[in-house]
Structures are given as C-alpha cells and as structure tokens.
C-alpha cells in the first residue's frame, strides 16, 4: 500500500468533526495521540537515521540549541516522510479541521518539511510563535518520531484571545503522536534535553497563501541560515530559493 493510501486509511479512522471541534475549542490547537500507524512510524524513524549525517547543529544564545535537517536534504533521504507531507487525504483532513484552503509551503522553504534533532544535553527551543513570513497564515503539524527524553512541548493556548487567561499544556511527543496548530496562535517551547536523552520530531508546514514579499523573504532566509539550516543550505548554488 502506498503512503498516500495508508494516510487515507488513518484519516478514515478519525472522527473529523470531533477533531475539528476540539481544535477550535482550544483556539486552533489539537493533539492526536499515537495516531499514525506503527508500521508507517517505523519506516519514518528509519529515515531519521538516514538523515542524521545531514544534521546541521546550531545554537542561538538564550533561544535555541539543537540540530535540524531541512526539506532539500529530506528529498534525498526520506521519501516516506515526504509522502506523508504530500498525502492528499491528509491535506484534505487539515483543510476540514482548519476551515482553510491550505497548501504545502513552497519547496524552496527548508521548513516546509523538516526534522528537528535534540541530541545533546540542554538542546531546546525557547517560547515562540511559528510566525508566518508568507502573505497567508502558517499552520504547523508536529509529529513525534523519537521520544527518549524528559523534554516536553509546552504550549500556551488563548494567548491572543482578549480577556481570556492563557492555559498551559505540556506533552511528550511520542512516536506517531501528531499536534496541529495555527502558528500565529500557539506560544510554545521545547524544554531542555537531559543527559543521555534523545528527541526527534518532524514538522510539516502548510499555508493559506504561499506568496512572500521580497523583504520578508530576505528576513526569513537570514533567520533560517543563522538559526536553523546554515547558509549553504538556505542560499544554495543557483539561488533556487531567492529566485522563487
Ligand atoms: Fe515552533
């Protein structure tokens, strides 16, 4: 069975109306615990190991420390993960839950589909929104793949709802667990990794409008080069990214 079919079956097992209700009750945030089929998750974890040599480590004082592998490296090393990102039934599910005509991020965006490695003590990311540099809103799907850590995804809901006190959620992103949220609404962090621990997560990004103004493109490229994937990955020979 193709990955697209596996994803279609996984979507069929969901009560989409109930997921949508929870998503909106929680100000555009929902968790599907252990949702992806174990067999599919096992193949994705196999690709995590194939992607390891491409990990780019980075450290931004007081904000983040960890490794990442962006879209372009995954194209060569992680076909299953890319098929999950592109699965038509999954995109339809995301559209039904968010009520938006979501599309995948442009392939020139290393965050479109990326792995984040927390492998050294202290690896973490501080509180942030997944701010959209696109004209449209950006939605994040976070998938747990390796979870042998005390790190937690900490999210604060309702931070931009006037008159409502934020509510904090803390969760381990177990293999196959999926978290969907509106990047401009969930204030979130990953707490520091402990000694001898490991955590690897996958993020899939979708947007309502993939166009970007040139100034925002520049800011976004600089941020990615410094904080995530390195200058070589972001400003690739031929200027593939700048040209889009
Ligand atoms: Fe984030």
pLDDT tens per residue across span 44-87: 999 999 999 999 888 887 788 999 999 999 999 999 999 999 99
pLDDT of residue 243: 37
> How much distance in Å is there from the Cα of 188 to the middle of ligand 1?
6
Q: Could you tell me which residues come within 8 angstroms of residue 5 by beta carbon, excluding any fewer than 6 positions away?
A: none
Of 243 and 150, the structure prediction assigns the larger pLDDT to 150
- Between the CA of residue 136 and those of 7, 91, 101, 115, 221, what are the distances in Å? 26, 16, 10, 23, 17
> How much distance in Å is there from the Cα of 203 to the middle of ligand 1?
9
Tell me: the pLDDT tens digits for 98-142? 999 999 998 888 899 999 999 999 999 999 999 888 888 999 999
> How much distance in Å is there from the Cα of 175 to the middle of ligand 1?
18
> How much distance in Å is there from the Cα of 183 to the middle of ligand 1?
7
> How much distance in Å is there from the Cα of 130 to the middle of ligand 1?
5
> How much distance in Å is there from the Cα of 64 to the middle of ligand 1?
11
185 pLDDT band, cuts 50/70/90, is very high
> How much distance in Å is there from the Cα of 1 to the middle of ligand 1?
32
228 pLDDT band, cuts 50/70/90, is confident
Q: What is the mean pLDDT of residues 222-242?
A: 68
> How much distance in Å is there from the Cα of 83 to the middle of ligand 1?
22
For the whole model, what pTM was predicted? 0.90
CB 194 within 8 A of CB 186: no
Of 218 and 99, the structure prediction assigns the larger pLDDT to 99
Q: Residue 223 pLDDT more than 90?
A: no
Q: What is the separation, in whole angstroms, between the first and last Cα of the chain?
A: 34
């Amino acid at each position: 069975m193709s990955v697209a079919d596996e994803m279609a079956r996984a979507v069929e097992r969901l009560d989409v109306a109930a997921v949508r209700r929870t998503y909106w009750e929680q100000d555009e945030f929902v968790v599907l615990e252990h949702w992806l089929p174990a067999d599919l998750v096992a193949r994705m974890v196999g690709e995590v190991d194939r992607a390891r040599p491409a990990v780019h480590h980075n450290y931004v004082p007081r904000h983040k420390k960890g490794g990442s592998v962006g879209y372009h490296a995954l194209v060569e090393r992680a076909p299953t993960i890319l098929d999950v990102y592109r699965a038509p039934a999954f995109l339809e599910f995301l559209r039904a839950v968010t009520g938006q005509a979501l599309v995948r991020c442009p392939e020139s965006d290393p965050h479109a589909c990326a792995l984040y490695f927390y492998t050294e003590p202290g690896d973490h990311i501080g509180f942030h929104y997944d701010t959209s540099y696109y004209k449209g809103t950006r939605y994040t799907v976070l998938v747990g793949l390796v979870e042998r850590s005390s790190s937690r995804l900490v999210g604060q809901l309702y931070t931009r709802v006037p008159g409502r006190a934020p509510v904090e959620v803390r969760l381990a992103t177990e293999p196959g667990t999926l978290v969907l949220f509106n990047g401009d609404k969930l204030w979130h962090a990953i707490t520091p990794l402990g000694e001898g621990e490991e955590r690897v997560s996958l993020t899939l990004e979708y947007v309502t409008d993939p166009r970007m103004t040139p100034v925002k493109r520049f800011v976004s490229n600089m941020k990615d080069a410094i904080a995530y994937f390195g200058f070589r990955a972001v400003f690739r020979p031929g200027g593939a990214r700048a040209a889009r």
